[in-house]
Structure 1
Amino acid sequence: MPQLGWHQVRPAPIVLVSGTETFLAERAIRQLRDFLKLEDPSLEISDVQADSYAPGELLTLASPSLFGEPRLIRVSNVEKCSDTFLAEALDYLENPAEDTYVVLRHGGGVRGKKLLDTIRSGLGGAIEIVCAELKKDTEKYEFASNEFKAAGKRVTVSALRQLVAAFSDDLAELSAACQQLIADATSEVTETTVDRYYGGRVETNAFKVADWAIAGRNGEALITLRHALSSGADPVPIVAAFAMKIRTMAKVFGARGGSAQLGAQFGLAPWQVERAQKDLRGWNDEGLARCILVLAETDAAVKGAGRDPVFALERLIGVIARRGEQ
């Protein structure tokens, strides 16, 4: 059976998305969904949890609908699948439904090995999308380079190296940094551009400052902020990191549904939804609203409306660490 990289995902009756790199797996699944949706806007999308599978669920979802719309069935947690799911999935491979695309996400391990071996034998017209962890800096460099290439944005070699150095421990944050530079930079992204946003922060970055504050760790957030500033970080991208996280939290707050469903609803990746849900523990709507107001004030302050951008940042961190409480 064909084994393809995450960026080579294409429609097939059965798409096995394997590997430990969750960010790449979620992006591949999202790209497949977007492609199918573009081909036919009437696409029906369903989500199945293989570890809490209900008997007959797969066959029911794959059954032809009244109007014959194509169907995309996304199955998560296949590495934890129940015996019932395993048996029914093996049966389904013998006779996949027409106009139906079943995506099986397997994050690694030996559970479900019989299913994986059967899929890899080529039964059911399957393909495998391999999403292995990017461990080498050269792999991360290539990933970042492709982010800019796909957006048609020029970037220098030194800028790419600096980005990879600053975000080598988190592929999702590396991608977010690339996307922010793609969106904000009006011309070629150079080392100077990266310096202005993420300068000198191999160990300290804006997202870590935001993470500490959102977790309620005011002291750690302030220490990390001072480290970032002393390393040459600019207050503007630090506020942008806070804005990105708080904005995502506001979208997810009070919403019900699975991460894939909410991600599709709000234009987010499932991992972003799950992270926001985790960050929202202990928050209420009034506190979140106050943080959004202070965030807007801080954004204006660091862009010239205030006399002391560092004081504005420290105030913002205090408000967020208290979850917006007075």
Structure 2
Amino acid sequence: MAPAPRRTPAAKPGTRSAATRSTIPQLSWRSPQPAPIVLVSGPEEVCAERAIASVRDYLRAEDESLEVSDLRADDYTSGSLLGVSAPSLFGEPRLVRISGGERMSDAFLTEALAYIEAPQDGATVILRHNGASVRGKKLLDAIRAGTGGGVEVACPAIKRDSDRFDFASAEFASVGRRIAPAALRTLVSAFTDDLTELAAACQQLIADVPGDVTAEIVERYYGGRVETSAFTVADTAIAGRYGDALVALRQALDSGVDPVPLVAAIAMKLRTMARVAGSREPAGALATRLGMKDWQVNNARRDLSGWNERTLGLAIMATAQADADVKGASRDPVYALERLITIIATRAPYGG
């Protein structure tokens, strides 16, 4: 006997998808639930992979006989969707994972539109669409309008520093683990360009470290990462520790760190300082307004000790020049870096 259809969770009022107003539930990728149709949308692949795996694990925990099938929407054979979703002789639950929705073929679009009008009992169909194109918009709109009794799991891009901090912090919180703020900052700084690597690093620390994760532990694991070395240089220079900053710069360069991320790390710190400078708002209110975390605001305010509007402006202009120099405007990027560190650490024009 085929299992009874699952009830779709109630929709949250006022939720919207990226493309059109949605009347179906909008679920977090960290806690998705199965439904006849599960639309996994958005560009963040690591979140989408987690969501799809979670739905599979949920269904398998309900019934170990779960049948899992994979289809490609962009390389689709007519009749495949109905074939793999149809009830078997013994009525096992079925999970159909469909990738490449942003490149779906006309054949898939036609059959998927027909399928969502009458989904198969006992089947869960997951459609992955990364939003890279408007291909299949008619299907997405129909799903979001409620046809098929679906849910949507949004996986928006994680680009801002605050979003990456939230992601990493939630990785530890989801398993009841604590990571110190300084450790979190070091960890996120070490993986600024790759969320997949950041997720893997979080999981490695969770698996390897039995207690709280400290800054020393993160430094031991990932202290050799380019971005971490870059922030060490930036921190010592901004703190006015000229000698230490030059030593840190030399160590970073000797270990193979490229000048470009070094300048980028300094620019990021100075931008944050500039955004916070002059504001007397409470840290929480300012952080909310700027899309930051309370501790980021507090750190920036500490970094501003000894700085004023003139010296901060000087440092920002010097950083812009150094950025151009290390990207080809100068024949000697190392000299450009040393000049930048000197200006920042001394709060004075070079040679002044």
Q: Do the aligned residues in 2 keep the contact of 1:72 with 1:100 (CA within 8 Å)?
A: yes
Corresponding residue for residue 61 of structure 1: 84
Corresponding residue for residue 179 of structure 2: 155
Q: % of aligned pairs identical?
A: 56
- How far residue 230 of structure 1 moved from its aligned partner, in angstroms, is 8.0
Q: Do the aligned residues in 1 keep the contact of 2:31 with 2:54 (CA within 8 Å)?
A: no
Answer with 1 or 2: which has the greater Rg: 2
- How far residue 200 of structure 1 moved from its aligned partner, in angstroms, is 6.1
Q: Does 1:84 align with 2:98?
A: no
Q: Give, in whole Å, the separation in 2 of the partners of 1:122 and 1:40.
A: 26
Q: Do the aligned residues in 2 keep the contact of 1:18 with 1:131 (CA within 8 Å)?
A: yes
Secondary structure class of the residue paired with 2:227? coil
Q: Do the aligned residues in 2 keep the contact of 1:204 with 1:227 (CA within 8 Å)?
A: no
- CA-to-partner distance for each residue in 1:138-187, whole Å, 9 max, x for gaps? 11111111111122222111111111111111111001111111111132
**1:228 to 1:163, Cα distance in 2 relative to 1, 3 A:** farther
Q: Give, in whole Å, the separation in 1 of the partners of 2:82 and 2:194.
A: 38
Secondary structure class of the residue paired with 2:65? coil
Q: Do the aligned residues in 2 keep the contact of 1:201 with 1:228 (CA within 8 Å)?
A: no
Q: Give, in whole Å, the separation in 1 of the partners of 2:220 and 2:59.
A: 39
Moved over 3 A (4+): 225-231
**1:155 to 1:53, Cα distance in 2 relative to 1, 3 A:** same
Corresponding residue for residue 4 of structure 1: 27
- How far residue 226 of structure 1 moved from its aligned partner, in angstroms, is 8.0
- How far residue 32 of structure 1 moved from its aligned partner, in angstroms, is 0.7
Among 139, 142, 147, the alignment partner of 1:123 is 147
Q: How many residues align?
A: 212
Q: Give, in whole Å, the separation in 2 of the partners of 1:159 and 1:86.
A: 47
Q: Give, in whole Å, the separation in 1 of the partners of 2:87 and 2:98.
A: 18
Secondary structure class of the residue paired with 1:74? strand
Q: Give structure 1 stretches of 5+ with no counterpart.
A: 206-224, 232-326
Greater share of helix = 1
Q: Give structure 2 stretches of 5+ with no counterpart.
A: 1-23, 230-250, 258-352
- CA-to-partner distance for each residue in 1:224-272, whole Å, 9 max, x for gaps? x9859588xxxxxxxxxxxxxxxxxxxxxxxxxxxxxxxxxxxxxxxxx
Q: Does 1:185 align with 2:202?
A: no
**1:9 to 1:38, Cα distance in 2 relative to 1, 3 A:** same
Secondary structure class of the residue paired with 2:90? coil
AA partner of residue 50 (structure 1)? A
Q: Does 1:48 align with 2:62?
A: no
- How far residue 4 of structure 1 moved from its aligned partner, in angstroms, is 2.0
Q: Scaled by the length of structure 2, what TM-score is found?
A: 0.58
Corresponding residue for residue 123 of structure 2: 100
Q: Do the aligned residues in 2 keep the contact of 1:71 with 1:100 (CA within 8 Å)?
A: yes
Corresponding residue for residue 213 of structure 1: none
AA partner of residue 111 (structure 1)? R
When the two chains are superposed, the root-mean-square deviation of aligned CA atoms in Å is 1.9
Q: Scaled by the length of structure 1, what TM-score is found?
A: 0.62
Q: Give, in whole Å, the separation in 2 of the partners of 1:180 and 1:53.
A: 37
